[in-house]
Amino acid sequence: MTETKIQLQHVVKAYGDNVVLKDINFEIQAGEFISFVGQSGGGKTTLLRLIAGLEATNSGDIIIAGQQLQGQNQVARVMFQDARLLPWMTVVDNLTFGSKDAQEKQRALALLERVELGEKADAYPSSLSGGQQQRVALARALMSDPEILLLDEPLGALDALTRLKMQQLVADIVAESNLTTILITHDVREGVLLADRVVAVKDGDLGLIVAGQRHQTDRLAIDQTIDDVQNFILAESE
């Protein structure tokens, strides 16, 4: 039986009088890839931050593998839109944070090879392109062997070709490791192609939940799903 990895139970988040998330109930299974898509201000990034334990709910519970989340989520790692690399450290040291532990360095080097940056281990972030910096950030997120990978629009600032390559890299790594993965994105096509399920977040609600096309090759089905999600997001709220 598949394990329920993440449970959101009556989750509410507000900033003052502005209610950003309204009574959210949702479950994510272990190894599942979920995309939260929608326009800015809909609440999707706030939802990710709550699951990461970077912010607290106003009410409701977040359950991680059967345990109520209190404080930072220790089994999750976040990859942000900006790489957030430390400029005074080499690439490999950005993964190990300067640790002298030989095993840790070997794991870092192996991860850099996996993201096709093995030759850049001793380089500094300033010498890397934006896409390369994001690959380092992905490797860093995987260093602690997390159970949950949280992707907060990490591909949003990349050019189109680099973005496509990164999408494939993320898809391959998630498939290899069976990570439970959440992607926040404005790009509906990206969300549909990468995910098992796509959730349209609109006005603080999970308004539409459809099957993603992660394992599909039927272009007509993919395009129809993209159209359905886009039409829902763009429709005027009643």
* Interval 139-160: pLDDT, tens: 999 999 999 999 999 888 788 8
Report how far apart, in Å, the C-alpha atoms of 56 and of each of 14, 17, 71, 77, 115 are: 10, 16, 8, 17, 33
Query: Is pLDDT at 64 greater than 60 in this prediction?
Result: yes
Dist CA 98 CA 57 (whole Å): 34
- pTM here is 0.93
Mean pLDDT over residues 178-186, rounded? 95
Half-sphere exposure of 85 (CA within 13 A, CB side): 28
Check residues 217 and 232 and name the one with the higher pLDDT. 232
Contact 199, 35 (CB under 8 A): yes
Contact 196, 32 (CB under 8 A): yes
Dist CA 2 CA 25 (whole Å): 19
